[in-house]
Amino acid sequence: MPHSLLKIGLAGFGNVGAGVYKNLEKNRDILRERTGRDLVVHRVAIRDPKKKRNVSLPKENVTTDLWDIVEDDEIELVVELIGGVDRAFEFVEAALKSGKSVVTGNKALLAERGRELFEVARENNAHIYYEAAVAGGIPIIKTVQESLIGNHIQSVAGIINGTCNYILTRMNEAGLQYEDALQEAQDLGYAEADPTLDVNGWDAAHKAVILASLSYGCWVPCDEIYVEGIEKVTKPDIDFADELGYIIKLLAIIKLHEKDRAIEVRVQPSLVPKGHILASVRGVFNAILVTGDVVGETLFYGSGAGQDPTSSSVIGDIADAAARCNNPGGLGFVTHDLYGKPLKVEDSVSKYYLRVQVVDTPGSLARIATILGDHNIGILSVIQPEDHDEETAPVALTLHFAPFGRMLEAKEKIARLDCVSDEPVLMRVEAI
């Protein structure tokens, strides 16, 4: 039985784009049998055709103009892998308006302009597929969208940036300082030459916004979530966490608050109990823990980045699109509007880790405890090493559950004490 062609326009031929083309060609026969369509990359938009690449393309399929893909009536499906926000938005919007469905791995685009793009898709009876935008090769989008469709998602907690997880793993296991672990990650190709979006938490934050929108049917504005990276995590914090029975991980937390129908979305370094499964996620791997009211806890683990894992997710979306191109009834995202108010980060509640460098004189710890008591924050434990500088000493405290806003107020007052020599370090202790 002959198979109909699905002509694809591929925008972007970097690491992931080349992987998509290579693996589509390699597995073309099995994809044809499984989808009933012959998947063909009809045109590829490349910024620099003279650049040497490990994957070769037929010259007749190459263009340097993105709009050639949009204007080509033979192309049914567009794959956007150019990155960025503004230019990508214009391109994807135009593709959708022309009636073409779109596959994208662009997390920043979806987090910042997704609301607009999905509305354009609805208006033009098109689809958006975005599995590769979160956690590389882990099929978390399809799982939440399809397998867990009968659940109210109660929470999502995840390690969704492999660069940060590698750095923190090396700091914990090899005793490296942050700068040395980052340099090692760059040397191995796990971190970009400019790692800012990874280490400052925003790469994970964009993914968290997408997961929150998928779980709760509304878009949480990027400027209404709390984001903190790993740049200020130090070896003393790693050591204190270890002594207290924890490992530091950069966690994305997405949580539903039924009482006020609010969604909590935040990304920050957090102390995870050593016995928790997320604490065992090492190196560049990702893991996402999803809790539903019917299914309970489910864990998804795998490679969060890289050419082949990410291209696997893109190809999975292409296969889905092949099945849906002749069935315009469904969309890649369906909002259900059950919730819609982001929780203010000041109102989020957790336990805390607080490290303070204090002048080693009688009464210093008592003054800190007084401030915490005045803010109704209880102390769970205190550690002060005996071998320390003669003038100052690090003190690590773990603290009871308290609203984050109240904790920040207490931290600011502690920082102003004349017996405190450096800015206190505050991290959450996650009850996940």
Catalytic annotation, residues: 207
CA-based nearest residue to 78, from 98, 55, 53: 98
- Name the helix (H) or strand (E) containing 257: strand 246-257
Q: Which residue has the tokens 């073409």?
A: 100
| C-alpha span between 228 and 414 (Å, rounded) | 20
| C-alpha span between 336 and 389 (Å, rounded) | 57
The alpha carbon of residue 418 and the mean position of all alpha carbons in its chain are separated, in whole angstroms, by 39
What is the β-pairing status of strands 77-80 and 62-63?
unpaired
- Reduced DSSP (H G I as helix, E B as strand, rest coil) percent helix, strand, coil of the chain, to 5: 40, 25, 35
Are the CB atoms for 190 and 166 separated by under 8 Å? yes
| C-alpha span between 80 and 136 (Å, rounded) | 15
Q: Which residue has the tokens 């984001």?
A: 227
DSSP per-residue letters across 173-211: HS---HHHHHHHHHHTTSS-SS-HHHHTSHHHHHHHHHH
